[in-house]
């Protein structure tokens, strides 16, 4: 003869299992969103790298054309070193 847990115990067990599965689902959704954010960050990092490279190239070209100095990015004024 087999025994069974009480209906209240069964309900408690089922509620805990349901909560566990819901939590696992939330974790999966968060990981998915994190992956999308990571991909966006990588794209932004690539843009930052490209902009930094372009800025170095421009400053190098300006240095050859105008000599060494610092350029005010607001006014374009060059202050020789």
Confidence class for position 81, pLDDT limits 50, 70, 90 = confident
Domain containing residue 48: 7-80
Examine residue 22 and state whether it is found in any structural domain, yes or no: yes
Establish if 2 belongs to a structural domain.
no
Q: What is the mean pLDDT of residues 48-56?
A: 97
Q: Both tokens of residue 40? A: 């966006």
What mean pLDDT do residues 49-56 have? 97
> Is residue 80 within 8 Å of 67, Cβ to Cβ?
yes
pLDDT at 1 (0 to 100): 78
**Assigned token pair, 48:** 């930052």
Classify the phi-psi angles of 76: left when phi > 0, otherwise alpha if psi is within -120 to 50, otherwise beta: left
> Helix or strand or coil: residue 54?
helix
> What pLDDT, on the 0 to 100 scale, is given for residue 76?
92
Is residue 1, in this structure, part of any structural domain at all? no
Length of the chain: 81
Establish if 27 belongs to a structural domain: yes
Q: What is the mean pLDDT of residues 15-44?
A: 98
Domain count, the chain: 1
């Amino acid at each position: 003869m087999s025994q069974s847990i009480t209906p209240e115990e069964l309900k408690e067990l089922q509620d805990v299992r349901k909560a566990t599965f819901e939590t696992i689902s939330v974790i999966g959704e968060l990981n998915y969103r994190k992956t999308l954010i990571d991909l966006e960050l990588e794209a932004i990092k690539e843009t930052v790298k490209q902009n930094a490279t372009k800025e170095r190239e421009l400053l190098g070209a300006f240095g050859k054309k105008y000599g060494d100095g610092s350029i005010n990015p607001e006014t374009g004024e060059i202050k020789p070193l």
